[in-house]
Amino acid sequence: MAQVMRDAPARRIILGITGGIAAYKAAELTRLLIKQGTHVQVAMTEAACHFITPTTMQALSGHPVLTNLWINSQGMNNQGNSNDDGMAHIHASRATDAIVVAPASADFIARLAHGLADDLLSTLCLARNCPLIVAPAMNRQMWENAATQRNIQQLIADGVILLGPDSGSQACGEEGMGRMQEAAQLARDIQAFFQPRLLAGTHVLLTAGPTYEAIDAVRGITNRSSGKMGYAVAQAALELGARVTLISGPTALSAPHCPLVGQGAKLIQVTSAADMLQAVQQQVADADIFIGVAAVADYRAAQTSAQKIKKGATKLSLDLLPNPDILGYVASLPKPPFCVGFAAESHDLIKHAHEKRLTKNIPLIAANLAQHAVGADDNELILIDHAGEHVLPRADKLTLARDLLKHIVALRHSLSHKGTMKHPIKVRA
């Protein structure tokens, strides 16, 4: 059984921190970015040092912090060595894949908008030849001020990428727009920014979540699927540049959105398997890829009651009918999209997954143990295609989704050229 390998992204970013109470979130953001495999060089303004210390950020990043344009004892060249030629802003900006300013204060945004460069961080931003990503953080009235909004529009016109802000409670005690996004969301969005647009121009149609089959007005047949895997696949497809239609059973999840790509998934919410089939039939005509992630209930009640069935002394028996096979329907179309199924089994995983792939006549199936996957935030997948079995090692579901889609891209390309994949696919995270 081949294991799909993940290359370390080896991305390098400068994390700029400006003055504001949200500077504390930069510590967690640094930790998360490093956990993703990103090299983080921190640069701080003088004001930022009043909220969080360079010592803290050096300990978290593993590198001396850039703080001063003039006293360059902490300057680092593009090999990470001490540099005393007074050009830290040039060396550092040339050795990075992106500059992320989080938090970005109203004052710093104003300086960016007007091209001012009177400290190390603003000079780094002006001297850069890489993307600039900004996460605003300020009081709601500062955010709503006409001057700030003019500055924001100027940054957008200049090609600067904005993440946030969010609305919520603020340190000043007020409520409203201006709160910096949480570190976990920023880390996900930054990682999404670096994903290759392998699915640009492609329509991905997928199903997610459970279905609910009514018995009466309050009872029904369903399962414990949370929808997390399907929504992660939708998110990853957006990151790779696809147009995404997500048909979802009942979940507590929000529609996937990728701000750095500038688009979100078209979410169609359904309840029963029949509803899901109908939605798929309406959307499948122009789909290039169909991924059936939903845990569709296998059976439904033959008769349902519009009223609650009262508890009685006698036994209640239900006649069950099989639900439609949605994946089978799509795969049997005269011109089907590239079809991918999911197999959630409790035992004999490989055996049952192979049988399902052959029965459905689809090129790829993703197999997992239901007891380890349902409701969890992480998982392990075994991808089964004509070349054999490929293991995606345990990881969070978004990482797995990215690896799955890259496998799909490679397999689809291989089959379109009537080739075979004799070796495990090497997935670049």
Q: Does the pLDDT value for residue 100 go beyond 90?
A: yes
Report the pLDDT averaged over residues 191-217.
94
Q: Does the pLDDT value for residue 2 go beyond 50?
A: yes
Listed in sequence order, the residues at least 6 apart from 146 whose beta carbon sits closer than 8 Å to its beta carbon are: none
Residue 421 has a pLDDT of 39
Beta bridge partners of 268: 247
Residue 217 has a pLDDT of 93
The pTM assigned to this predicted structure is 0.83
Q: Give catalytic status of residue 172 as yes or no.
A: yes
Can you give the C-alpha Rg of the chain in angstroms? 25
Q: Does the pLDDT value for residue 76 go beyond 50?
A: no
**Same fold for the domain at 10-193 and the one at 203-428?**
yes
Residue 74 has a pLDDT of 44
Fold of 10-193: Rossmann fold (3.40.50)
Q: Which of 49, 125, 130, 172 is catalytic?
A: 172
Q: Does the pLDDT value for residue 285 go beyond 90?
A: yes
Tens-digit pLDDT profile for residues 294-326: 999 999 999 999 999 888 767 888 899 999 999
Q: Does the pLDDT value for residue 373 go beyond 70?
A: no
Residue 422 has a pLDDT of 39
Residue 169 has a pLDDT of 79
Burial of 365: CB neighbours in 10 Å, binned 0-12, 13-18, 19+: buried
- Is the bond leading into 256 cis (omega within 30 degrees of zero)? no
What are the extents of the domains in the chain? 10-193, 203-428
Q: Residue 102 — φ and ψ, nearest 5°?
A: -150, 110
Q: Does the pLDDT value for residue 400 go beyond 50?
A: yes
Report the pLDDT averaged over residues 57-67.
94
Fold of 203-428: Rossmann fold (3.40.50)
Tens-digit pLDDT profile for residues 256-282: 988 776 678 999 999 999 999 999 999
